Structure 1
Amino acid sequence: MASVNMADVKRLRELTAAGMMDCKKALEEAEGDFDKAIEILRIKGAKDVGKREARTASNGLVAVSRPSDSLAALLELNCETDFVAKGERFQELAATVVEHIIATRPADVPTLLESQIDGKTVKELLDEANAALGEKIEIRRFALLEGGYIGTYLHKTDPQLPPTVGVLVQLDEANAEVAKDIAQHTAAMAPKYLSPNAVPADVLEKERAVFEQMTREEGKPEAALPKIVDGRINGWYRDFTLLQQAFVKDPKKTIAKVAEEAGVKVLAFVRYKVGQA
């Protein structure tokens, strides 16, 4: 096999996003022919797709599509390394899939994977990217909001990488400034629920049990437990429900108050951070 230099290996890696050793071996086998090396990597990648199923795809990006003020979709597309995440092919795949979500409005990820784009299923497109890029590529989740006025926000935690935090905020009336403010707040403060009423009963029961045990271990009087626990639950609401959080731009106001003063209601929100629940 012909010897290759690291500059050629780096160039092939930039063209394909394949691993360094895979690029080196492909160039050696192709005797320095880049087109042939790319084909070798493609064939190897296709053979290795199944082997990657157990690997962890904890990097990636969030992508958004908002064709109108009242319709938007948010997608989390995952890969194994940030090298692939910042690549053009991976980002183009995310853009294609999120636009497809808007067009077809699938009910869930399995339905999305079986739907077709130009004669190929979304799963087939992911498998092709998997083979070409040499990494496990998967759709973790997506959301679609429709109605009212929807604001969006994408945040880059690293300027060299694509966005890894994405937010949709749905208001009942159009107000671009407030929607943007609340979306940016949501990205920063990571609320889990819209309001206390939106907290599932089992979640609330678990938190209450934790606070009761904590309060007892502190030696508080038994008669005072209900009041103390209620106070801690209210504090938890202020931490984790969007409408009760203190607004980052003006902590004297809650998000509910910000919306009220603007004459709008917050109907829903979605926040994704790559690799987090």
Structure 2
Amino acid sequence: MTTTNRRRSTLFLVLFAVAVLAAITVAGILLNGRAMESDFARKNLMPCLEYPFGTDWMGRDMLARTLAGLSLSIRIGLLTAAVSACIALVMGIISATMGRWADSVVCFCIDLVMGIPHILLVMLISIACGKGFLGVVTGVALSHWTSLARVIRGEVMQLRQAPYILAARKLGIRRWDIVRRHMLVHLMPQFLTGLILLFPHAILHEASVTFLGFGLSSEQPAIGVILSESMRYLTTGKWWLALFPGISLVIVVLLFALLGERIRLLLDPASAQE
């Protein structure tokens, strides 16, 4: 396969993943009201043409609830990944440009955060912030920036020795002007790739914390809430209550992973010829 055809197929996969994720997000927003409607006349129906994902013990449409939950998870993932990636960008640049003392402080923070299991750290921050939407967003955002910060720190430390960076220093250009004019453009491929690859982690940890009861409230049609409530009914043979939401969550996570990998291939000059 030629390089042009490879890039074309990569771009097609990126557009496909974006289209599917956008469709799920919009559909979930539109079906949010229907996901909350209960009708005991249709409770515990198995999957059928009218209700492809079946209904639950309150007669709620599981397809609508699943799409609403995935939409909420995607929106939370977008918000938390964006905040976390921006924290990583700032911390990585500070670590590599502000001297040995700043580098030691940032590296200590990275080691401290990475030394605590993500789920436990997200739970602790979520509880400290009162759980709910704010607690989940804060917990996920403050616990997922470390790996990307290390990548950006390494890139900046390499860029510091570039001839044009050294020449800019000799000319007396201020440190932050050098970062803004000459370094940020080189950091964008790593930043965008890291940002997208943070999505699946953010979504899974949001769902996990909510499943354990430390995240979103049970009133919201979140995937974690759906899976947690469904566990009580699996022993009675209502397998569809957890199977379809679980598979849907895995598909969304895999789409984000595919999107991040393909965008890395498009943006990273080192992989342009792969």
Q: Is TM (by shorter chain) over 0.5?
A: no
- Give the TM-score normalised by structure 2: 0.24
Q: Hey, which of these two has a bigger chunk of helix by percent?
A: 2
- Give the TM-score normalised by structure 1: 0.24
Bigger CA radius of gyration:
1
